[in-house]
Amino acid sequence: MKEINMRKPLLILGIGISLLFSFSLAHENRLFWDGGDWQRVEKITDFRPEISYQIKAAYVNGVQDGRLYYYLKTWGEQAAFADSLYADTIDYLSTRELVRSLDTFYEDQMNVYVPVPSAMIIANMYGEQISPEIIDAYVQQTKFWINELMLDMQREGAGQLLDDKILKHQNKHQIK
């Protein structure tokens, strides 16, 4: 009973800090967390490793839950497509190992602008001991597409990109 009472305040504090962190980023055109956001967690938590870990673990688990949800939703419509789309493993490592691996990955300043979901795939590739050449190629492809996306957002604006995606999605469903 005592342990539950200790966890509840920490959970509430973690959620509160996460919300403050999210609101501080809300004014930016942001699609997802990257390494800068990942590293900023330590500063926001006054370098308290337990709370920092809880926020990072919550984010990682949320990404994995969301990915599973959309995999299952897609699989219900087109199983082969879902299997090919979600072929990358992101749950090979435990949450603790994944957080530690992401901390290490983002220590390299060249990786800071890689989105956390992509970095999760990369971390799991290292965990599965995939060849360094394949991992490096994946990292380069990730950096290329994120740069292209950011340029498109600057040219067209995030709102326009999202509107275009919605129209494309609606047109696909009207054809069926």
Look at the chain and report how many structural domains it folds into: 1
Query: Amino acid identity, residue 22?
Result: S
* Residue 147 in domain: no
The closest alpha carbon to 59, from 112, 125, 117, belongs to 117
Q: What is the DSSP letter of 130?
A: -
59, part of any domain: yes
Residue 49 lies in a domain: yes
- Beta bridge partners of residue 171, listed in sequence order: none
Half-sphere exposure of 80 (CA within 13 A, CB side): 0
Give the CA count within 13 Å in the CB-facing half-sphere of 61.
9
Q: Which pLDDT does position 15 carry in this prediction?
A: 54
Whether residue 43 lies inside any domain: the answer is: yes
Token pair for 85: 């789309």
C-alpha distance across the termini of the chain, in Å:
55
Structural domain including 70 reads 2-142
- pLDDT (0 to 100) of residue 19: 47
Please work out, in degrees rounded to the nearest 5, the angle formed at the alpha carbon of residue 165 by the alpha carbons of 163 and 167. 70
Residue 159: per-residue pLDDT: 74
Quote the CA–CA distance of 176 and 171 in Å, as a whole number.
9
Asked whether residue 166 is assigned to any structural domain, the reply reads no
Question: What is the CB neighbour count within 10 angstroms for residue 90?
Answer: 20
At 98 the pLDDT is 97
Position 80 in a domain: yes
Q: Is residue 176 part of a domain?
A: no
Tell me, yes or no, whether 165 lies in a domain: no
Please give the chain's pLDDT, 176 residues, in tens: 444 444 555 555 455 555 445 544 444 546 679 999 999 999 999 999 999 999 999 999 999 999 999 999 999 998 998 898 888 778 899 999 999 999 999 999 999 999 999 999 999 999 999 999 999 999 999 999 998 888 887 887 767 767 776 777 677 656 54
Q: pTM here?
A: 0.72
